[in-house]
Amino acid sequence: MKNLTPIYLEQFFAASVPIVWDCLTQIKHLQQWLFKELKHFKAEPFFTTEFAYNHEGKIFTHCWEVMEIIPQKQLVLGWRYKEYPGAAKVRFKLSTSPNGCIVELTENLIDPFPEIEEFKRKNRKAGWKDLLHTRLFNYIKTF
């Protein structure tokens, strides 16, 4: 049986909500910390984009749709891959905290991905940790 338990992560950033929001929604920032392959992104409802990413010789064409947006508070993306069945919804929720901003990331599976190594829950969680706790964290420290 597949593990459908949501993935939840939280990270504090010593930066204001507007700075963190811009890093999550502006293409010039997304290309620096998330995926350089990403060519188009707009934080607008129903905006869609796709880009191919090569991971250890396998192509994963990411297909995203902005499902919900509350400026400087919440961004929800539909996330799937062209080459594989399955879909997820990823929510970035921002809140002000003393001396900065907290980002809560939640991934909910809508339709389970295939049972290959890259889509195992532990590997998806490790990927989100790398993106949130390492790549975005280190990028925001440059401001």
- Give the E-state strand segments of the chain in sequence order: 7-13, 48-55, 58-70, 74-81, 84-97, 100-111
Tell me what pLDDT residue 4 has: 82
pLDDT of residue 99: 94
For the entire predicted model, the pTM comes to 0.94
> CA 135 → CA 45, 49, 97, 109, distances in Å?
26, 21, 21, 23
Per-residue pLDDT at 102 exceeds 70: yes
How far from chain centre, in Å, is Cα 101? 17
Residue 1 has pLDDT above 90, yes or no: no
For the segment 36-45, what is each residue's pLDDT rounded down to a tens digit? 999 999 999 9
Percentage of the chain lying above the pLDDT 70 cut:
98
Mean pLDDT of 23-29: 98
107-to-28, 35, 37, 125 alpha-carbon distances in Å: 24, 18, 22, 9
